Amino acid sequence: MTISKYIINRFFLIILTLFTLSWFNTIAAQDADGKQLFISKCQSCHSGDMKTDMTGPPLFGVEGQWEDKAKLHEWIRNNQKLIASGYPQAVEVSKLKPTAMQTFPDLTDPQIDAILKYIDEKGSGKLDAAKGGGAGAAGAAATAGDSSQHPLLYGIITLILALAALILIFINKNLKKISDDTEGKKTPEAVPFFQNKIYLATAAILLFLVGGYFTTKAMINLNRQKDYEPRQPIFYSHKVHAGINQINCLYCHGNAWESKTAAIPSVNVCMNCHKTIQKYNGPELKDKNGNPIDGTAEIAKLYQYAGFDPQNPDAWDANKAKPIDWVKIHNLPDHVYFNHSQHVRVGNVQCQTCHGEITGMDEVHQFAELSMGWCINCHRQTKVNFNVDSTSGNQFYSIYEKFHNDIKSGKMDSVTVKDIGGLECQKCHY
Ligand code: HEC
Ligand code: HEC
Ligand code: HEC
Ligand code: HEC
Ligand code: HEC
Ligand code: HEC
């Protein structure tokens, strides 16, 4: 075997290794990925460009402001505890905003470090520069989107490498032929590479794999509608109601506490307040295109549905109200079972974790992907609240006894939803 042939044979192996490695890289990178963590856990309150003031303050440079790094970790994990301990900086920071920050007791130190690193890189523009400056368009959508570009990039690199390999093989063939000719050796008529069964088979398999990957991915995404924000019949603002006026979510979506669905309140629930609140005097409202909205006119639309005459409130007959045809935003496929009370009441999961910072949205948009991976990831990470007293916690699992003993003997240090069966297909699929 000539040396060039040897190298070319290895070349295929090298390409294959590179290709596999690059796949693993994309998969592994998702684990302690600061960006993923930031988007899923922090971005509902802290702006994605790290510089805009939102529910939470902008985070760029925050690492420098905290002298004691361990305390910063403590803050992110459980700010309430740190404030309660009287640590001066925590007390100071807690006065920044009227709302308190959520706690994240499950975040590990490496995860927090990854988040802080992402904050720094994103805020200083390093990430955007590394991407050729093209993706500077900021915003959650842009940040969420770019992770999906990696497979494409790797695909292109692989294609280029494969092309290079083919050219090399071709050159090698010709060189060999020339050398054989000069040595006067008789070689059998070479099979052109496009008739070579091995190459053809390899190409077909590769095409099948790559094509299959992208087709499947596109098909799976078919019915998903993250960020869906339809126009509603009335410009009803959650920011005005649940944010500025701090009306509890359960006042209108009380079903979420008790049943599978969270449900949308009926017109009569609106009228509890709007019999008397007939004008809107709050901050200026704008729709997502920036057009001004007249709140008072929107309340008048509500009266249309309710059949209510503000001039003559006593004549109102609640039975004549027509339902408002709100457009449903969140839609799981029919083959999935999702139960609100199981999460909100038993699991103690905040609405905002799944629906985003609703109190800051005028019209609601879909915050989460609602993919199977989204459900499963949370079930892998979220700890079950076994904190049993008569009012909270979950006392219903027979395996509880075993977990209790395992934790006691140090075999496990916490129990996730996965451990109680949250990854079993039939729990989520009818
Ligand atoms: C529910 C909204 C919310 C979420 C989610 C949230 N934060 Fe905060 N964060 C706040 C608020 C509000 C403050 C200001 C402190 C206060 O007023 O209590 C804050 C303050 C901070 C501070 C201190 C800022 C300073 O100037 O020192 C850091 C650091 C921080 N958040 C990091 C994070 C990280 C990291 C995450 C995600 C793991 C996160 N936050 C998720 C609302 C939130
Ligand atoms: C005063 C009543 C009221 C309050 C309070 C309220 N909502 Fe709503 N909510 C509605 C109405 C009406 C709709 C349907 C119109 C729309 O989608 O904006 C709705 C829609 C939603 C949707 C989208 C439903 C869909 O179609 O998929 C979510 C999610 C939601 N609310 C969550 C919340 C959360 C979280 C809170 C608390 C922070 C809250 N709501 C507080 C009345 C309320
Ligand atoms: C664990 C994630 C999760 C939590 C926590 C959660 N929701 Fe939902 N919510 C969903 C999903 C998923 C859907 C879509 C359900 C469907 O299509 O069957 C949904 C749908 C809704 C809807 C549309 C109507 C319906 O019932 O389908 C409203 C309104 C709503 N949620 C409000 C809330 C409120 C208010 C809270 C807090 C009290 C809350 N959600 C907590 C995941 C969650
Ligand atoms: C608990 C009391 C309460 C309930 C229930 C309530 N609202 Fe309101 N609503 C208010 C308050 C307070 C304002 C703000 C008034 C102001 O700032 O001048 C408001 C403002 C509005 C506005 C004008 C601002 C905007 O969001 O566009 C509309 C429209 C409106 N409400 C519709 C509704 C509808 C529809 C429902 C039922 C789903 C409802 N409200 C339920 C208290 C309530
Ligand atoms: C933010 C985290 C989170 C997300 C997202 C989430 N879940 Fe859960 N889920 C939980 C928690 C916590 C529990 C455990 C409640 C308990 O203590 O029993 C749970 C329990 C369940 C259970 C009962 C499991 C059992 O063994 O009893 C089902 C079924 C379920 N979830 C379905 C879903 C589906 C379907 C989705 C996606 C549409 C989803 N969940 C998304 C946190 C989440
Ligand atoms: C925690 C809840 C949960 C568990 C456990 C779960 N699924 Fe799913 N599954 C979902 C959700 C939500 C969807 C809808 C995803 C979408 O619409 O994109 C889904 C969709 C699917 C689909 C349709 C393809 C797709 O991605 O849309 C198949 C097939 C499927 N699941 C199979 C399984 C199998 C097999 C298991 C057991 C190993 C399982 N699921 C366990 C929540 C779950």
Give pLDDT tens digits for 15-62: 666 556 555 544 444 446 888 888 878 887 788 889 888 778 999 989
Q: Is 73 in the pocket of ligand 1 (CB under 6 A)?
A: no
% of the chain beyond a pLDDT of 70: 82
Predicted pLDDT at 382: 86
* d(C-alpha 395, C-alpha 415), whole Å: 14
How far is it, in rounded angstroms, from Cα 372 to Cα 338?
11
CA–centroid distance, residue 240 to ligand 2 (Å): 12
Burial 353-388 (b: 16+ CB within 10 A, else e): bbbbbbbebbbbbbbeebeeeebeebbeebebebee
What CA–CA distance (Å, rounded) separates 190 from 211? 31
Q: How far is the CA of 233 from the centre of ligand 2 (A)?
A: 14
* pLDDT value for 306: 93
Atom 9 in ligand 4: residue holding the nearest Cα: 241
Q: Which residue has the higher pLDDT, 171 or 102?
A: 171
With cut-offs at 50, 70 and 90, classify the pLDDT of residue 416: confident
Say if residue 314's pLDDT is above 60: yes
- Nearest-CA residue for atom 19 of ligand 1: 56
| Nearest residue by C-alpha to atom 35 in ligand 6 | 425
- Tell me which of 102, 235, 237, 252 to substitute to probe ligand 2's pocket, judged by most ligand atoms within 8 Å of the beta carbon: 252
pLDDT at 7 over 90: no
Token pair of 280 as six digits: 């809107």
CA-nearest residue, atom 34 of ligand 4 = 270
* Predicted pLDDT of residue 320: 84
Cα atoms in the Cβ-side hemisphere of radius 13 Å centred on 11: 18
Q: Is any atom of ligand 1 closer than 6 Å to the C-beta of 80? A: no
Q: Which ligand is nearest to the CA of 350?
A: 3
What pLDDT is attached to residue 135?
A: 37
User: Per-residue pLDDT for 345 more than 90?
Assistant: no
Range name among 139-153, 154-168, 251-265, 290-304 with the lowest pLDDT average: 139-153
Distance CA 267, CA 300 (A): 13
Structure confidence at residue 49 (pLDDT): 86
- Say which residue the tokens 């702006």 belong to: 47
Alpha-carbon span 70 to 194, nearest angstrom: 62
Chain mean pLDDT for the chain = 82
- C-alpha torsion angle, residues 358, 54, 98, 116 (rounded to 10): 110
Ligand 3 centre to CA of 340 (Å) is: 6
Report, as an integer, the average pLDDT of 284-305: 91
Instruction: Kindly report the protein residue whose alpha carbon is nearest to atom 40 of ligand 2.
Output: 249
pLDDT of the residue at 323: 92
Could you tell me the CA-to-CA distances from 385 to 137, 346, 388, 404 in Å, in that order? 40, 8, 8, 12
* CA-closest candidate to residue 245, choices 210, 212, 197, 283: 283
Atom of ligand 4 nearest to the CA of 237: 26
Question: What would the two tokens of residue 246 be?
Answer: 């701090």
Distance CA 358, CA 329 (A): 13
Instruction: Quote the ligand 1 centre to 63 CA distance (angstroms).
Output: 13
Rounded Cα distance between 340 and 113, Å, is: 33
Mutate-to-test residue for ligand 4 from 231, 232, 236, 241, highest number of ligand atoms within 8 A of CB: 241
If pLDDT is split at 50, 70 and 90, which confidence band does 288 have? confident
pLDDT at position 136 over 80: no
As to burial, measured by CB atoms within 10 angstroms (0-12 exposed, 13-18 middle, 19+ buried), residue 219 is exposed
End-to-end, the C-alpha distance of the chain in Å comes to 60
- Ligand 6 pocket check for 428: Cβ under 6 Å: yes
What length is written for the chain? 430
296 contacts 279 by C-beta, under 8 angstroms = yes
Burial level of 90, CB count in 10 A (0-12/13-18/19+)?
A: buried
Look at residue 29 in the predicted model and tell me its pLDDT.
43
Ligand (nearest to CA of 422): 5
CA of 103 to the centre of ligand 1 (A): 9
How far apart (Å, rounded) are the C-alpha atoms in residues 51 and 61?
9
* CA separation, residue 349 to residues 108, 345, 427 (Å): 19, 8, 18
Q: Is 125 left (phi over 0), alpha (psi -120 to 50) or beta?
A: left
Reading the block at residue 108, the tokens are: 């590990």
Q: Tell me if 253 CB under 6 Å of ligand 3.
A: yes
Tell me, in angstroms, the distance from the centre of ligand 6 to residue 220's CA.
11
Closest atom, ligand 1, to C-alpha of 352: 1
Of residues 107, 98, 118, 155, the one with CA closest to residue 43: 118
| 146, pLDDT greater than 90 | no
- Distance CA(100)–CA(80), nearest Å, equals 8
Which one, of 102, 123, 99, lies nearest residue 34 by Cα? 123
Separation of CA 242 and ligand 1 centre (Å): 20
Ligand found nearest the CA of 417: 5
